[in-house]
Amino acid sequence: MDIKTAKRWFNWHKWSSLICTLFLLMLCVTGLPLIFHEELDKVLEKQVVADIPPGAQPLSLDSLAVAASAQYPGNHIRYVFWDEEDRNKVIFDLAPKPDAPPEQSKYAMLNLYTGEVLSKPSTDGVMAVILKVHTNIFLGIGGKLFLGLMGILFMVAIISGIVLYGRIMKKYDFGMVRKYKSRRLQWLDTHNLLGIVTLAWASVVGFTGIINTMSDVVLFMWQQGQLKEMVAPYAHQQPYQGKLASLDSAMVVAQAAAPDMEPRIITYPGTMFSSKHHYAVFMKGNTALTSRLLTPALVDAQTGKLTDLRKMPWYVNTLFLSEPLHFGDYGGMPLKIIWALFDFATIVILITGLYLWFERRNAARLQWNRLEKIAAENE
């Protein structure tokens, strides 16, 4: 690589890193607690247990829906889902209208066997606030897309760093840290070494992070693509205004169509994940991988009959798989600890990168001052 090309790669690395560094620091700092969000939720939030009386049978979803609606008069149920760790807890999402923004959601968690209201989960807890900062910095879809752009710059910094490190390692041993040189060179070598050690992790987290910021775009593509095809026969029909079909019957019909799966979420007509004519029952698999993927079954909200069931397109499945991978949710606590260590190492990389930039500027300024002084003395 000639000097001109090396300088070009150096500039790519410098400016892509500088532009995104502060935002990446924020993402790394907020990402640390999010890696352990399940464990922290148990500490920060009151845990409730869904006790099952001897001989009790599960209540119907329809009766639970009535109990949930009574908690928030004037609101309507939009989504029904189950607690991931305890399926005896059923959670209802209610809002003033089906297409209300997520910020207007209210929640009621009920015991599947007794109908007891266990709690009313909120969306303004500590972990919820950290998640919002991490995902969109409280700026909605604009914040998501902006952080996605920062993720792209991060990937540019990674690629250019690989190129530059390869050039350096032609002269030195791999992993070299010049301990007996200047402090700036020691930090430079440490920065480079940590960068190459965390390369694979940073690439995975950076790439999946970019995908996650595209969630609203992916949802729109699915709505305008597969979902539109699935509800095409209802395109010119007026929304049904009468009493909706039973929730329980909708779930039974969906389970009969996908007997090797179980329901994860039921969405009501008029929400962003269904049509104005359908319940959408999203089914999940029963393995570590397939449990992350959802298959929508559309059930006519008037007749209670199944109208369509399809696997999600590849771009939606990519999103489903990238989010848990981004936070290290696939391998239990050992993987979370590894994710946290790499996250901390990346924080060190970002801080040393800023330090090296300031030191380089200071060195250049001192050199310029010396030149000015020499020029002044020669006049």
* Residues 78 and 93 sit within 8 Å (Cβ to Cβ): yes
> Residues 255-281: pLDDT tens digits?
999 999 999 999 999 999 999 999 999
* pLDDT for 123: 67
Q: How far apart are the first and last CA of the chain?
A: 42
Average pLDDT of span 285-300: 88
Averaged confidence pLDDT in the chain: 86
What is the residue extent of each domain of the chain?
3-19+139-212+330-378, 46-124
Q: Region 120-144: what's the mean pLDDT? A: 85
User: Per residue in 337-356, pLDDT tens?
Assistant: 999 999 999 999 898 888 88
Residue % of the chain over a pLDDT of 70 = 90
Closest of 63, 60, 99 to residue 79, by C-alpha: 99
User: Residue 17 pLDDT more than 60?
Assistant: yes
CB 227 within 8 A of CB 277: no
Residue 190's pLDDT band (cuts 50, 70, 90): confident
Distance CA 137, CA 219 (A): 20
Q: In this predicted model, what pLDDT tens digit does every residue of 50-68 receive, in sequence order?
A: 888 888 898 999 999 999 9
Note the pTM of the prediction, 2 decimals.
0.84
Q: What is the mean pLDDT of residues 286-290?
A: 80
Q: Is 138 left (phi over 0), alpha (psi -120 to 50) or beta?
A: left
Q: What angle do CA 367, 373, 379 make, to 5 degrees?
A: 140
